[in-house]
Structure 1
Amino acid sequence: MFPSQDSLPTPIGTLDSLMEDGDTSAKPHKVFVAHNLGNRAFLMSVPMHDFHSMSAVANERGANGEPVAQRKLDELHAAKLANYILKGLLSGAIERRTVQKKPTFPALEAVLAKMGGQPYMSMQPIVANIRSSDPRGANLPGSRMITKEDETACFKVMLSQRDILWVVDGQHRRKAMDLVFEFLNGVQSSHRYPKKGSLFPSDSSEVSKEELAVWSECLEVARGFCTVTVEAHLGLNIDQERQLFHDLNNLGKKVEKSLALQFDSSNPINRYIKEVLVDDVLDMDPIEKDIVNWTEDTGQLALKDLVAINAILFLNKSNISGATPLDVEAKKEVATAFWTAVNSIPDFGSPGAKVKTVAAQPVVLKALAKLAFDFAFSRRKSVDSEQNFETLLNGIPKLDYSHENPAWRYYLMTDSERSSAGIAELKSFLPTNDDGANRDLGQFDLQAKLMRFGAKHNDIYPVLADMFRHALQLPSRHEKQLNIDDF
């Protein structure tokens, strides 16, 4: 018999002490104990679904209404991350089949290709705080895990439902997981894709049997095979959480845009540029930065400029964010025809091209890309848009791209000067100069006879596109056209 204390066996102790030591919801987690700059933290690898269940984001407000340790949630950014995570689960499902030596599942490959694959996928570690822990974790039950050689492999720590992983850095990633699981669970229960905010680009709202099996596998890998790496700090107070959030988000150096574009192979427009445009169409390799000194111009375009031009060509946007593989694939043939015509412009891509032709300036190519989009892809295409696009392609190599073309100086001239220069008819094609908008297209060097267009491309290229409409006798955008939808 065990000796008793207060009518209870000694090894059991009091009920209060049992409640203090733990509860029945505690689960073991293997962790490495780290000391990040001297501060004890746990490094954990947790299945994605489990992490989502045992974590939360601290968005409560302080005494004076100020945020505690988080910025405002950006729903659009979270949705983009959700798309990335879903692609990662698809990739993980394919990898798991390989590891388990299971036969390939063609539907998995097809769905991933439809969403847009990439060479490699990974998610950076999430930083969290276990607020219920002592600063050194002394109140968390745990034990050392020993190898056969009597060496420490890791530690097993018991975390209960009260030991929430409060996210300090990674709230958008966690929200993205929320969107992914909402999508997967919704698809499984309704067998239909959501009308709005669907993470999968499908032409049909119905989920096929093969696709349903794919989404089921994604849920399976999220529960075990695909993990989230967590750096869990212990017992931080509010001031410490704020400081950690600040340091993680402000002390890192942002990657230069040109380098990011050079390394990124996930965006379908970026892939088109690297795999089709550069390899098969253009006689140039893109450079990292634009050459400011025109005497040193090699004729090559900067990658960031190629991306910006193609953003207008494919999407009519200023960036390539949001491009889908299906959309790019459908427009690839037309885009290649456009760039083939551009590549036929005299002196384009040759050494010293910027001195020889204004077509070497990216803003001019943006204007041409805008016209190509309007005639080939716009939802408001006119009934003769196909013929207009052919006129554009045939006319691109023949347009007057000389620096001395008086059209570039239209807004610098008086009415009499425009008449003398033979460009008075441009008036019906161009926006007026009295609406307060920026009409400064750039500067013309009278001595060098060079036209340098300005840096405000978004203001300039629509006007240049209007000039090209006039030169090619294409319809003015300021006149009402009969659209296909009108019939």
Structure 2
Amino acid sequence: MSQQSIEIGISFSGAAGNQFGKNIFTTMMPYKSIDRFLVVFPEVQRNVNKARVKDIAEYVLSGVNEKNYCFLSAVTATCRGEVAYDDNSKMVTIDINSVLSINDGQHRIEGIKLALKNLRKKVKNETSKEEKLVLKENLERLENMCIPIVIFESMNEQYEQQLFHDLNNLAKTPTKSISLKFDNTDPYTAMAKELAKENGYLVEYGVEAEKTQLRENNPNLMLLSTLRNTISFMISGSENDKNNTLTFDNYDDMKNTVDSVLNEIFKALPSDCNDRKKYIIGTAVTLQGIGKYVYTLLNNDEIVNWKEYIAGLKNINWKHDNKMWNGYGGSYDLEKGKFIFGGTGGGINGVRNALIENNRPTTTVKI
């Protein structure tokens, strides 16, 4: 393969190889060059998920902040046109009239495009000279960031469809807990991982960081994903903090508060609260419902000493056969011998409501 076969093209540093009889090239393409070459052809791709594109765009923009760790994996594409490699200069050259048909990574590419569009619009509309200068610097940094591209040479439509199928069929999505275990961008996840190692009660009762569910013989009290969501309910009242109540700026203060709340909660719960056969406490719904109850306490101005209410949890009968739970998002299953919540959202609200209506503090203060 020689670069001389292409009269007019754009070159990127890269490498060349062969896979199952097909020539492949790898290169790093700057974000600013994406619009020029990378294209989605509907016949070899699924419909774009706009919500997912927006999430990726938000993630890309957060990467402009040098404090954040943000990574995008390689995009796979096939070249519709001419592509060549010069072994001497180590350059991949794409003919000016060629396009790269995206086979895997269209949401990453669309997310990058949306992030660039958003930032360019901000630069254009900014009236403050100082802020405009900062935005321009951020835009330049973003435009010069690169994404890895794996390029297959000259495939027909049938091969492209097969490539899309194989890439997506062979990929295995990690469990939510494993994904969270390695996520360092979400402050709630970061807090959950830290407290799982630092809070004495969580260390004692155990936080499962890899499995998707807890079976009867699993000694751990909760999944890492459950702890993450419970903390989010405590701080923001929701699983998804759309108002950015927790940020890395107020992180340390919030973490101290959550640590203190967890200590008070576990002081009040039965010492064998991780016995899922005996108590409903070991279900994700219950723990998140307690988290939402804490949010209610902390955001009620009429309650000054929230610890009195948390202490009152020791008087709650958390056993599966307690008839009090009936009507709060589930019912007792005679065959299974335990209380079953009908749904996650309804169960979380049910536990919160049950505690509001039945929990009593050490002093008589209305909630």
Asked if these proteins are the same fold (TM beyond 0.5), I'd say: yes
What CA distance in whole angstroms lies between the structure 1 residues aligned with 2:94 and 2:178?
43
Greater Rg, structure 1 or structure 2?
A: 1
What CA distance in whole angstroms lies between the structure 1 residues aligned with 2:26 and 2:218?
51
Residue 264 of structure 2 corresponds to residue 344 of structure 1: no
1:55 is matched with which residue?
38
What CA distance in whole angstroms lies between the structure 2 residues aligned with 1:462 and 1:90?
36
Aligned-residue CA RMSD (Å):
3.6
1:271 is matched with which residue?
190
| Residues 269, 323 of structure 1: 8 Å contact kept | no
Report the CA distance shift for 1:49/1:453 in structure 2 as closer, same or farther (over 3 A). same
2:333 is matched with which residue?
443
Using the TM superposition, give the Cα deviation of residue 264 of structure 1 relative to its aligned residue in structure 2, in angstroms: 1.8
1:124 is matched with which residue?
73
Q: 1:399 aligns with which of 304, 309, 316?
A: 316
Using the TM superposition, give the Cα deviation of residue 156 of structure 1 relative to its aligned residue in structure 2, in angstroms: 5.0
| Residues 80, 101 of structure 2: 8 Å contact kept | yes
2:222 is matched with which residue?
301
What CA distance in whole angstroms lies between the structure 2 residues aligned with 1:271 and 1:130?
40
The size of the alignment, in residue pairs, is: 353
Gaps of 5+ in 2: 362-366
Secondary structure (helix, strand or coil) at the match of 2:180 reads: helix
* Structure 2 residue identity aligned to 1:184: L
Using the TM superposition, give the Cα deviation of residue 263 of structure 1 relative to its aligned residue in structure 2, in angstroms: 1.9
| Residues 128, 233 of structure 1: 8 Å contact kept | yes
Show CA shifts across 1:325-368 (max 9, x none): 529748555544432221212434x4863355443433322222
Using the TM superposition, give the Cα deviation of residue 131 of structure 1 relative to its aligned residue in structure 2, in angstroms: 0.9
2:11 is matched with which residue?
28
Show CA shifts across 1:421-462 (max 9, x none): xxxxxxxxx6xxxxxxxx64232589xxx6443473333332
Report the CA distance shift for 1:222/1:451 in structure 2 as closer, same or farther (over 3 A). closer
What CA distance in whole angstroms lies between the structure 2 residues aligned with 1:159 and 1:230?
16
Which aligned pairs between 1:36-435 and structure 2 lie closer than 5 A? 36-59=19-42, 68-91=43-66, 112=67, 117-118=68-69, 121-133=70-82, 137=83, 143-145=86-88, 154-155=90-91, 157=93, 159-160=95-96, 162-191=97-126, 209=130, 212-224=132-144, 226-276=145-195, 278-280=197-199, 282-284=201-203, 285-287=206-208, 288-289=210-211, 290-293=213-216, 296=217, 298=219, 300-318=221-239, 325-326=246-247, 329=251, 332=255, 334-348=257-271, 350=272, 353-354=275-276, 357-376=279-298, 384=302, 386-387=303-304, 392-408=309-325, 410=326
Normalised to the residue count of structure 2, the TM-score between the two structures is 0.80
Using the TM superposition, give the Cα deviation of residue 49 of structure 1 relative to its aligned residue in structure 2, in angstroms: 1.3
Give the stretch that moved more between structures: 458-467 or 247-256.
Answer: 458-467
Secondary structure (helix, strand or coil) at the match of 1:232 reads: strand
Give the stretch that moved more between structures: 392-401 or 34-43.
Answer: 392-401
Using the TM superposition, give the Cα deviation of residue 46 of structure 1 relative to its aligned residue in structure 2, in angstroms: 1.9
Using the TM superposition, give the Cα deviation of residue 269 of structure 1 relative to its aligned residue in structure 2, in angstroms: 0.6
Using the TM superposition, give the Cα deviation of residue 251 of structure 1 relative to its aligned residue in structure 2, in angstroms: 1.6
Report the CA distance shift for 1:258/1:312 in structure 2 as closer, same or farther (over 3 A). same
* Structure 1 residue identity aligned to 2:93: V
Using the TM superposition, give the Cα deviation of residue 163 of structure 1 relative to its aligned residue in structure 2, in angstroms: 1.4
* Structure 2 residue identity aligned to 1:310: I
What CA distance in whole angstroms lies between the structure 2 residues aligned with 1:168 and 1:32?
20
Show CA shifts across 1:8-51 (max 9, x none): xxxxxxxxxxxx9745xx33333322212221122112222123
| Residues 308, 320 of structure 1: 8 Å contact kept | no
Using the TM superposition, give the Cα deviation of residue 322 of structure 1 relative to its aligned residue in structure 2, in angstroms: 8.7
Report the CA distance shift for 1:208/1:336 in structure 2 as closer, same or farther (over 3 A). farther
| Residues 267, 320 of structure 1: 8 Å contact kept | no
| Residues 128, 167 of structure 1: 8 Å contact kept | yes
What CA distance in whole angstroms lies between the structure 2 residues aligned with 1:275 and 1:392?
26
What CA distance in whole angstroms lies between the structure 2 residues aligned with 1:276 and 1:208?
43
Secondary structure (helix, strand or coil) at the match of 2:55 reads: helix
Secondary structure (helix, strand or coil) at the match of 1:298 reads: coil
What CA distance in whole angstroms lies between the structure 1 residues aligned with 2:356 and 2:273?
29
* Structure 1 residue identity aligned to 2:348: Y
Normalised to the residue count of structure 1, the TM-score between the two structures is 0.62
